[in-house]
Amino acid sequence: MTESKLSTFDRQDGRLVIAHILFAFGALLIGGIAGMLQGMVKGGTITLPANIGYYELLTAHGVLMALIFTTYFIVGFLYSGVSQTLGGKLLPLARKLGWIGYILMSIGTVIGVIVILLGKASVLYTFYAPMKASPYFYIALALVVIGSWLSGFGIFYQYRHWRKNNSGKLSPLFAYMSVITMLLWQIATIGVALEVVVQLIPWSFGWVDTINVVLSRTLFWFFGHPLVYFWLLPAYICWYVIIPKIIGGKIFSDSLARMSFILFLLFSIPVGFHHQLMEPGISHFWKYLQVVLTFMVVIPSLMTAFSLFATFELYGRSKGTKGLFGWVKVLPWKDVRFFAPFMGMLIFIPAGAGGLINASNQMNAVVHNTLWVTGHFHLTVATSVALTFFGIVYWLIPVVTGRTLTPKMNRLGIIQTLIWCVGMFLMSGSMHTVGLLGSPRRTAYNTYDDHPDAIMWIPYHVAMAIGGIILFIGVILIIYNIISLMRAPKGETQYPIGEVSDASEPTPKFLENWKLWITIAVILIVIAYTIPFIDLIGNTTPGSPGYVTW
């Protein structure tokens, strides 16, 4: 394949990618409206009309942001890189699976949002039993998951085909990372699929009267924690593979990058108990073991931080900079394709530190179910990941639609990034602080009969509301930027795939030995979960009937 052919993105593949990206940002817009309103309700600045419940909004926000915006963006982004790096074009079957996946996910999303807005499913994005939603809400979620599976199969199919035709060759880094991201997703979703199909759907239809609550929560978090790495890994793909190219540098080490992804595959699933540390029904030993494994899954993030610093420093030295932070001066600060993901990285330092606090058993007792946790994930997923995704669209949309990024849009992109950072500093900063003062998450405005603690929380809640309004301006601006990108001048934009530094050692073959890695992942899951599941299933405590609490 010639160079000029490579730089033109396949038009049919482009349509599949853009369909996913636009759907994702549609979800961000609606989710953003709900987010802003929630912030304003909590700040005591507005009251909702009687027919809209706070939990209805919060469910719409959590589902549209955390499940829909992310999944659509990720599938679109991964398909784009897989098409680009594995042959320059999707195989017909891979593309077909991508489209069928898209249609199933979209039917699921539309049904889900309608059921939520009808007030029949205010069970939040974690849909904990014994709160009971309409069965159609769970069916809608199942459609989204099945759709995403098909998209994953499309990626596996393209990868297998490439390897058959390129035996002995190392697969492209982007494709390798996409396969791990989707493998992680396939294994993780088994937990939530079991919960929805075996427990929630029969119970919400009334075919069975009661539900085993701890078991359902445990199945949820078997999925819920790796879910957060399903969001993170595509951002890491951008940091490892795309950013070096955008700054004009090199990938520090191909093997280190692959190893860190393997560690995510191994350690991100057997750790769900760190969300259940304060729950009865699970013995201390298993919580302890999963906390140890949680600290293991921090290692690949530390490796990533190390590798990014190395990429930046190598680039700086190649430009003649000296000293520990000399490289900071030569980075392309005025290029939004770099600036937005970089702010994501920078914010990931305090965001990750907050995660370590959450995972520490004693400190979890202080922060669990407070707004601190909400602050934690608005830094991780809603800033580090979201800003990276925003940064990607400034080159991805031009690449797949055959257009170019103009200086004006670049400038608007920088402004959008700054607005997001300021809004999030205010919102997440006050969530963290007021969380430490005890203010609970998942609550509407309440002064608890003018209790002094609740009165003390109010100024922070007001700051949160102001941050939320600024963030919503950021949502409007990113939507405006996307519309402008769709109408940008025609031209050719190169897909930015980084090259590995010459100084790096060749990548060992065992990193692509899937049988080995999947086996180890399964063994770790079996060790961490088998006995707890046997205990939970054999538990003789009576199950719970369903409650509609809203």
Residues of this chain that interact with ligand HAS (CB under 6 A) are: 126, 228, 231-232, 274-275, 294, 297-298, 301-302, 304-305, 308-309, 328, 345-346, 348-349, 352, 355-356, 358-359, 364, 368, 373, 376-377, 380-381, 385
List of residues 6+ apart from 39 with CB closer than 8 A: 427, 464, 465, 467, 468, 469
| Distance between CA atoms of residues 72 and 66, nearest Å | 11
Residue with the closest Cβ to ligand HEM? 35
Backbone φ and ψ of 56, nearest 5° = -65, -45
Kindly state the DSSP code that residue 260 receives in the 8-state scheme: H
Binding site for Cu ion (CB under 5 A): 225
Task: Please pick, among 20, 95, 274, 376, the residue that the annotation labels catalytic.
Answer: 376
Shortest distance (Å) from residue 230 CB to ligand HEM: 12
The burial class, CB within 10 Å (0-12 / 13-18 / 19+), for 144 is: buried
Residue 482 CA to chain centroid, in angstroms?
20
**Residue 438, CB half-sphere, CA atoms under 13 Å: how many?**
7
The answer to whether the CB of 147 falls within 8 A of the CB of 103 is yes
The answer to whether the CB of 445 falls within 8 A of the CB of 44 is yes
Task: Please pick, among 15, 161, 368, 442, the residue that the annotation labels catalytic.
Answer: 442
Task: Please pick, among 174, 176, 229, 261, the residue that the annotation labels catalytic.
Answer: 229
Q: Does 124 bind ligand HEM (CB under 6 A)?
A: yes
Q: Which is nearer to ligand HAS, 381 or 463 (CB)?
A: 381
Q: Whose CA is closest to 548, among 220, 204, 221, 207?
A: 204
Q: Does 445 bind ligand HEM (CB under 6 A)?
A: no
Shortest distance (Å) from residue 474 CB to ligand HEM: 7
Candidates 318, 410, 443, 544; binder of ligand HEM (CB under 6 A) is 443
Q: Give the one entry of Cu ion, ligand HEM, ligand HAS, none that residue 38 binds, where binding means its C-beta sits below a cut-off of 5 to 8 angstroms depending on kind.
A: ligand HEM
What the block records as the tokens of 490 is: 């025609």
Q: Whose CA is closest to 526, among 258, 152, 190?
A: 190
138 in active site: no
List of residues 6+ apart from 204 with CB closer than 8 A: 132, 133, 134, 135, 137, 138, 546
Candidates 14, 35, 350, 352; binder of ligand HEM (CB under 6 A) is 35
376 in active site: yes
Would you report the helix, strand and coil content of the chain in percent, each value rounded to 5?
A: 75, 0, 25
Q: Does 127 bind ligand HEM (CB under 6 A)?
A: no
Q: Give the one entry of Cu ion, ligand HAS, ligand HEM, none that residue 67 binds, where binding means its C-beta sits below a cut-off of 5 to 8 angstroms depending on kind.
A: none
Q: Does 392 bind ligand HEM (CB under 6 A)?
A: no
Q: Does 98 bind ligand HEM (CB under 6 A)?
A: no
Q: Give the one entry of Cu ion, ligand HAS, ligand HEM, none that residue 495 binds, where binding means its C-beta sits below a cut-off of 5 to 8 angstroms depending on kind.
A: none
Q: Give the one entry of ligand HEM, ligand HAS, Cu ion, none that residue 240 binds, where binding means its C-beta sits below a cut-off of 5 to 8 angstroms depending on kind.
A: none
Residue 173: Cβ within 10 Å count: 23
Q: Does 374 bind ligand HEM (CB under 6 A)?
A: yes
403 in active site: no
List of residues 6+ apart from 31 with CB closer than 8 A: 60, 61, 64, 65, 68, 69
**Interface ranges with ligand HEM (CB under 6 A):** 32, 35-36, 38-39, 42, 58, 61-62, 65-66, 69-70, 124-125, 374, 378, 381-382, 386, 441-443, 468, 471-472, 475
- Which residues belong to the active site? 225, 229, 376-378, 441-442
